[in-house]
Structure 1
Amino acid sequence: MSQIRVGISGWRYAPWRKDFYPVGLPQARELAFASRAVNSIEINGSFYSLQTPERYANWRDDTPDDFVFSVKAPRYITHVRRLKEIEEPMANFFASGLLDLGDKLGPILWQFPPSMKFDEERFAHFLQLLPASWTAAGRCARQCAEGLKHNRIPRPNGRSRLRHAVEVRHDSFLCDAFINLLRKHKVALVVADTAGKWPYIEELTSDFLYLRLHGDAELYSSGYTPAALQRWAKRIEKWSHGGQPADAHRVIKRAPTPRKSRDIYCYFDNDLKVRAPYDARRLLDSLGLDKGLQTEPGVAPAMEL
């Protein structure tokens, strides 16, 4: 059975208050509310700066037992260093506390800037550095800078694998060499809906698929119509059963390794006009995954917040 996770990218947005979030809900309880309206959230604060073990632990404890986070990797690695001399920055990221999410740690997202072109040698080195297991992540974290060595590295929790996903925004990545690299390392290629601004690719390169829905017609702001959400629901169902839509936007001729199922992680990032949480709720409903979730945005769930 595949696992389908649908949620939002981030949760702390001022326009969401008194709209998606109920009037009077303390800011400190927004994650507790949001995590009961969707079944996954993409942490994006980690993109801008390293977080702390205490913060990750608090996020873990504020969410339901079966909840899953994805974590956006630091832009310092992807945008500033542009994958050059990243061994220590990568160690610092894994030492910063994301492993404290424990069983709630889902995929790690690596997003690259529109100005970054595909460099096969550089990307091959980057993919080789990515820790593919919980144990490898711990080994990587121990190579961190001196100022982070006081952070406790959690012991392996029995999970054998860490998942990684890559989001690219330059046409030079539309090539066989890039797709083959991702397949070799079992790293997912993000299906990014960007209102036509950046490449849209639906290649299957791992045993899971990662979707980022940034806006149907207008980047970061426009919502998704019922018809558009139904289209996404059908594609997700096809992917989750191991298939590929007949009209998929592909780059490489060679078909992916056949699978009976694939896990799906889908995040709405059209947050500027308070679209994301409502679109996520509607997609969960279309997929029949809204059972047990808080169903009335703007109304406190039946729990003590």
Structure 2
Amino acid sequence: MRLLTGTASWTDPTLLACGRFYPPEARSAESRLRFYASRYRLAEVDSSYYALPSADNAYLWDQRTPDDFVFNIKAFRLFTGHQTPLAALPRDIQRELDDWPEPIIYHGQMPEDLRDELWRRYQLALEPLRMPGKLGAVHFQFPPWVRRDARGRAHVADCARRMQEHLISVEFRHRSWFDSAAAIADTLAFERDLGVVHTVVDAPQGFENTVPAIWECTHPDLTLLRLHGRNTDAWNVSGTASSGRFQYEYTERELAELAERFSRLATQSTQAHAVFNTNFEDQGMRNAAAFASALLPF
């Protein structure tokens, strides 16, 4: 069993601007990733949500990290059901959509042949990480409008089918998936049937677009904990950068409790990942380092 701790992104603008994590000489993409990988053995790639990753970048990530380093990759936003700007698509796909009447498009609106081609390219781009064993989970964070109904379940199942050669994790953003004991049992059974990794989510509570932390493991290969902080006041504030929503520094007591539950759940899988999405300035790095220290007694 390997317990790995890291952050969601290692190049967030507020992180670079604060100047506290990277040494002054780490000015290039290569030097920053090498420095990050000297501190942690896990990173979540956030940029792959905004645009398709490239095989060239994946190869460079492999070359710039130790042999035992692991990357979790966020799924492209079109695949998870988020609205996607046409400008985020590859140029040749954009040209095929020249007559599309809006600047955005959704997965279900995409012509089938173009949709299949995007999925194919996405998986090819991951090969430079998969081949040396550095690809952890491909993480599907579904939007709040993907609910526990027939339509939502069909979309999640379609993603799992398309990615059946990979380890995928799923994270929901609508409370219907876990809003009762029956819903919890149904959702966990659904995840196990699909062969996907359940994500334990630590996030603000009391909103339609948040779910409780359900401490369960659904896949023998991976236990996954993603921590978004507990900044309730900023969670649904519009017009702010994402780093503001996730601005939160966990207390020693909070981390000790989380570490105890995480280490206990991790015994059910061969590997366990804790990803801190508290990406304001260097909070993610500080939270991840403190959490790793809290894990040591376990």
Q: What is the TM-score with the length of structure 1 in the denominator?
A: 0.73
The residue aligned with 1:94 is: 123
Q: Distance in 2 between matches of 1:50 and 1:105?
A: 16
User: Which runs of no fewer than 5 residues in structure 2 stay unpaired?
Assistant: 84-105, 233-244
State the 1:127 CA deviation.
4.9
Q: Distance in 1 between matches of 2:107 and 2:223?
A: 24
Q: Which runs of 4+ in 1 moved over 6 A?
A: none
Alignment of 1:10-29 (within 5 A): 10-17=9-16, 18-28=19-29, 29=31
Cα–Cα, structure 1 residues 69 and 128, in superposed 2: closer, same or farther, change >3 Å?
A: closer
Q: Does 1:129 align with 2:161?
A: yes
Cα–Cα, structure 1 residues 12 and 124, in superposed 2: closer, same or farther, change >3 Å?
A: closer
Q: Distance in 2 between matches of 1:106 and 1:241?
A: 18
More helix by share: 2
Q: What is the TM-score with the length of structure 2 in the denominator?
A: 0.75
The residue aligned with 2:227 is: 213
Q: Distance in 2 between matches of 1:30 and 1:88?
A: 33
State the 1:119 CA deviation.
3.2
Count of aligned pairs between the two proteins: 241
Alignment of 1:1-305 (within 5 A): 2-17=1-16, 18-28=19-29, 29-78=31-80, 79-80=82-83, 81=106, 86-95=115-124, 97-101=125-129, 102=131, 103-120=133-150, 122-123=154-155, 125-133=157-165, 162-174=166-178, 175=183, 176-196=185-205, 197=207, 198-200=210-212, 201-207=214-220, 208-218=222-232, 219-242=245-268, 261-288=269-296
CA RMSD of aligned residues (A): 2.1
Q: Distance in 2 between matches of 1:225 and 1:39?
A: 23
Q: Distance in 1 between matches of 2:266 and 2:226?
A: 16
Q: Distance in 2 between matches of 1:231 and 1:117?
A: 30
State the 1:70 CA deviation.
0.5
Q: Distance in 1 between matches of 2:195 and 2:53?
A: 27
Contact 1:117 1:173 in 2 (8 A): yes
Q: Distance in 1 between matches of 2:6 and 2:156?
A: 30
Amino acid at match of 2:127: L
Contact 2:202 2:226 in 1 (8 A): yes
* Aligned-residue identity in percent: 26
Amino acid at match of 1:112: F
Three-state SS of the structure 2 residue aligned to 1:24 is coil
Amino acid at match of 1:167: E
The residue aligned with 1:298 is: none
Contact 2:216 2:265 in 1 (8 A): no
